Amino acid sequence: MDPAVEITDLVKTFRPAGRKEPLLAVDHVSLRIQPGEVYGLIGPNGSGKSTTMKALLGLVSPDSGTCRIFGNDSLKVDSRQDVGFLPENPYFYKHLSGSETLRFYGKLCGLRGATLESRVRELLELVDLSGAGDRRLGGYSKGMLQRIGLAQALIQDPRLVILDEPTAGVDPVGSRQIRDLILDLKQRGITVFLCSHLLEQVQEVCDRVGIIFRGKMVKEGPLEELLAVEDQTEIILRDASPELVAKVRELVAADGSAELLRSGRPKTTLERLFLQETVDRVDP
Ligand SMILES: Nc1ncnc2c1ncn2[C@@H]1O[C@H](COP(=O)(O)OP(=O)(O)OP(=O)(O)O)[C@@H](O)[C@H]1O
């Protein structure tokens, strides 16, 4: 089976006005995404994430290298038939309602009549906006706008979805909704290629991760492998008494072949604490 995405030795330079030297935005980047995988590209601002995605979509032409989507060269229009895209800072017509927006994009993709109407309903439900489908986008929150953007990216039932900063400017509650949607897409077998600054979220949803820095891919691979600390073993106990912990310490000391680095309470994350104390709170 062809990979969903195959980028090989991609190079892209820009010649910004007022700058003598060309700017090397993407420097010999290669990556592969298998069908059904969720792939996260992370890196500091200006490191080449969006340019890589745009080259894959055929929106910028590479200086050299190739981009393929399900085996088709991305410079060919046909390759985009199976792709949905949520750009960074998507622009929407603020006077249109959520359902009118989806209808508009659906028509651009050739959907009509009952098929279009049922697709619009299905997508509004998927992104949890059924109750807001008749409201104008001008009154949507940032999180709702990102979700309508995601619905727009799914309008033509793509096999690959490319999401450039899907949670930019969205609070932790909205971010979690988007994260759940991405997991839902994965369940449906849709391949997802995303970039994000929310590293914890990338960690929660991605199967593979690439770290890009100054245009170069500096680390790439399955998330589990990248995060595993090779020389350490974790044991987590529930309800351990201080006596039991002391016994474990003694055992390790007596054995002498290993060192106990840390024992104590594992920490939650600020995001989990925030959600637990706000929307997930169960008041008596
Ligand atoms: N159309 C363009 N013309 C000139 N320079 C560009 C253009 N697009 C991107 N660049 C430059 O290329 C480099 C990579 O930009 P890119 O947008 O791909 O980075 P990014 O990793 O997506 O950043 P961010 O996290 O801020 O979105 C940056 O230095 C940027 O200024």
| Interface pTM, i.e. ipTM | 0.97
When pLDDT is cut at 50, 70 and 90, the band that residue 109 belongs to is confident
Atom of ligand 1 nearest to the CA of 26: 14
- Domains in the chain, ordered, with CATH? 1-82+158-174+182-228+268-283 (3.40.50.300), 91-157 (no CATH), 232-266 (no CATH)
Helices 142-153/98-108 angle, 10° precision: 30
Which are the contacts of 133, defined by CB distance < 8 A and separation ≥ 6? Answer: 97, 98, 99, 120, 124
Separation between Cα atoms, residue 38 and residue 185, nearest integer Å: 9
Q: How far is the CA of 46 from the centre of ligand 1 (A)?
A: 5
Mutate to test the pocket of ligand 1, among 51, 54, 164, 198 (most ligand atoms within 8 A of CB): 51
Mean pLDDT across the stretch 128-142? 93
**Cα 231–chain centre separation:** 30
Q: How far is CA 62 from CA 14, 27, 135, 147, 185, in A?
A: 10, 11, 40, 30, 29
Place of tokens 């985009």: 80
At 228 the pLDDT is: 82
pLDDT above 90 (res 50): yes
Q: How far is the CA of 30 from the centre of ligand 1 (A)?
A: 18
Task: Give the chain's radius of gyration (CA, Å).
Answer: 23
Residue 47 CB less than 6 A away from ligand 1: yes
Residue 196 CB less than 6 A away from ligand 1: no
For 122, list phi and psi in degrees, rounded to 5: -60, -40
Mean pLDDT, the chain, rounded, equals 91
Nearest to 66 by CA among 83, 82, 52: 52
For the whole model, what pTM was predicted? 0.86
At 239 the pLDDT is: 93
At 284 the pLDDT is: 66
The percent of residues in the chain predicted with pLDDT above 70, rounded, is 99
At 252 the pLDDT is: 94
pLDDT above 70 (res 149): yes
Helices 142-153/113-126 angle, 10° precision: 140
At 65 the pLDDT is: 97
Atom of ligand 1 nearest to the CA of 12: 12
Signed CA dihedral, 50, 52, 56, 62: sign only: positive
Report helix, strand or coil for 151: helix
At 4 the pLDDT is: 97
